[in-house]
Amino acid sequence: MQLFKLAYRNFFRNTRRSIISGISVALAITAIIFARSYIGGILQNMSGNVIRLISGHITITTKEYERRERLIPLSESIELSNDFYQSLPEEDIELISPRIKFGVLLGEDELSIPALGYALNPEKERDIAGLQKRLVEGTYLKSGERSAILGKDLAERLNMTVGDTMTVITRTAYDSPTGMNLVINGTFRTGIGGIDRSIFYIPLEVGQTLLDLEGRATEVIILVKDPGNAIQIAQSIRLGNDYSIVPFQYNNVLRYVNLAETIYSIFYLVVLLVACSAIANTMLMIVFERTKEIGMMKALGLNNLSIVGLLTIEAGIIGLVGSFLGTVVGTILSYWLKYEGIDISMVSSTASADLPFGPIIYLAPTPFIVISAFLLGLLITIIVALLPISRAIRINPAKALKTV
């Protein structure tokens, strides 16, 4: 108890030292919280894009379709019957959206630009693909209308703008040539090069007519209420052996997000390392700075255990205060940026003036990040202080008193 009081008073006695050390811990913790939230934000942004635009939480196709995916086999389609919909568990599902993906050649004179079309339900997909928010020019798709929205870069490659008519020629599910004239309602930008350069969207019924797939789709995208449960929900769906039901965690495209996550983890480790080093240095300095003081304490009769205890508690207090401060600042900063977002077009060299829904990263702090950072700060401070403290007790009082 006495030690605690002593530690407490020591803390305030040397405010300058306490402040400096407290601040360095605080800054380190703030940095850690920020870094993790920022990285989390980037990853969420990426996986969010994949989920919204490509896979949903669960993707249903036929097994043959999945196997021959590269060829985009329209003949492998799913009948959107009542039976089909009834096999899907109502309670866990937020939205069911059928889609048809098809490959086309586009071009003004020569059909030479390969592109990918998606026929989907405009109203349902407002919340899934969220394309309405990403429109750069023009208006959104309307069910039943022979319209299309194009990636901005695709429109540029075709030399077309809003209002132009685009002729799409492809093959139906029965291998017959088919085509349609579509009015370009609008153009969008997702920020993802591959999508903006080669993809366009049309209403589902229009696609079904074009491709001879009335009442059918090549894939059904499901959004669930609780993404964490996607795997279990996928496993619970009973549709028969011919179907492939894939939760997003197993989606091939998302593996690239896992890759990004791993790379960013390395960056995070570096941040952690430097932060720990900042704390470590501070603690080292403190202990060595007080060599004289420690010598004095020993001379006064304080035993080693007490000294270790005292110094450790002091380190603990610094850790506590600094961590707390850092956590508060870090949390406020991260949650603020969660709502405000960071507009990275300022630092990105590929910034474009006409981005309506630009590359804004919303930080993703979680209570876990906050609490673990706080605990980390506390722990690191104490652990890191232990080495110099253990050295400190070996100080020879006589020698120590002579140091400057």
State which of positions 274-333 bind another protein (CB under 8 A).
274-275, 277-278, 281-282, 284-286, 288-289
Helix (H) or strand (E) holding 383: helix 367-392
Nearest distance from C-beta of residue 99 to another protein, angstroms: 21
Asked if 118 and 101 count as a contact pair (C-beta separation under 8 A), the reply is yes
Return the number of other C-beta atoms located less than 10 Å from residue 205's C-beta: 16
267 binds another protein (CB under 8 A): yes
- Structure tokens given for 358: 């630009």
Interacting residue with another protein among 2, 82, 159, 181 (CB under 8 A): 181
Instruction: Report helix angle 2-13 to 15-50, nearest 10.
Output: 90
For another protein, the closer of residues 31 and 223 by Cβ is 31
44 binds another protein (CB under 8 A): no
Nearest distance from C-beta of residue 23 to another protein, angstroms: 7
Q: Rounded distance, CA 202 to CA 205, Å?
A: 9
| Window 224-253: contact mask with another protein (x via CB under 8 A) | --------------------------x-x-
Of the candidate spans 16-24, 296-304, 305-313, 374-382, the one that interacts with another protein by CB under 8 A turns out to be 16-24
Interacting residue with another protein among 90, 350, 353, 367 (CB under 8 A): 350
Nearest distance from C-beta of residue 82 to another protein, angstroms: 25
31 binds another protein (CB under 8 A): yes
For another protein, the closer of residues 111 and 237 by Cβ is 111
Spell out where 88-212 has E strands: 93-106, 113-120, 135-138, 147-151, 165-171, 177-188, 199-203
Nearest distance from C-beta of residue 155 to another protein, angstroms: 17
Nearest distance from C-beta of residue 205 to another protein, angstroms: 14
| Alpha-carbon distances of 247 from 49, 81, 93, 253, rounded to whole Å | 15, 22, 13, 12
Which residues 131-150 are close enough to bind another protein by CB under 8 A?
none
| Alpha-carbon distances of 165 from 47, 180, 182, 253, rounded to whole Å | 34, 10, 5, 32
Any residues with CB less than 8 A from the CB of 195 and at least 6 apart, and which?
53, 151
Q: Rounded distance, CA 260 to CA 262, Å?
A: 5
Interacting residue with another protein among 45, 161, 229, 312 (CB under 8 A): 45
Any residues with CB less than 8 A from the CB of 382 and at least 6 apart, and which?
312, 315, 316, 319
126 binds another protein (CB under 8 A): no
Q: Rounded distance, CA 247 to CA 55, Å?
A: 8
Asked if 177 and 188 count as a contact pair (C-beta separation under 8 A), the reply is no
Collapsing DSSP states into helix, strand and coil, what is residue 94?
strand
176 binds another protein (CB under 8 A): yes
Please work out the total of residues on this chain that contact another protein, with binding judged by CB under 8 A: 78
For another protein, the closer of residues 130 and 191 by Cβ is 191
Any residues with CB less than 8 A from the CB of 301 and at least 6 apart, and which?
none
Interacting residue with another protein among 344, 375, 379, 387 (CB under 8 A): 344
For another protein, the closer of residues 220 and 283 by Cβ is 283
210 binds another protein (CB under 8 A): yes
Nearest distance from C-beta of residue 97 to another protein, angstroms: 25
Interacting residue with another protein among 183, 296, 342, 401 (CB under 8 A): 342
39 binds another protein (CB under 8 A): yes
Which residues 361-390 are close enough to bind another protein by CB under 8 A?
361
169 binds another protein (CB under 8 A): yes
For another protein, the closer of residues 139 and 252 by Cβ is 252
| Alpha-carbon distances of 231 from 58, 61, 149, 254, rounded to whole Å | 8, 16, 32, 14
Asked if 65 and 76 count as a contact pair (C-beta separation under 8 A), the reply is yes
Interacting residue with another protein among 72, 87, 229, 264 (CB under 8 A): 264
Nearest distance from C-beta of residue 211 to another protein, angstroms: 10
Nearest distance from C-beta of residue 179 to another protein, angstroms: 4
Interacting residue with another protein among 108, 215, 235, 259 (CB under 8 A): 259
Helix (H) or strand (E) holding 337: helix 304-340
Which residues 64-123 are close enough to bind another protein by CB under 8 A?
68-71, 105, 110-112
Any residues with CB less than 8 A from the CB of 169 and at least 6 apart, and which?
104, 105, 111, 177, 178, 179
For another protein, the closer of residues 124 and 290 by Cβ is 290
Return the number of other C-beta atoms located less than 10 Å from residue 178's C-beta: 17
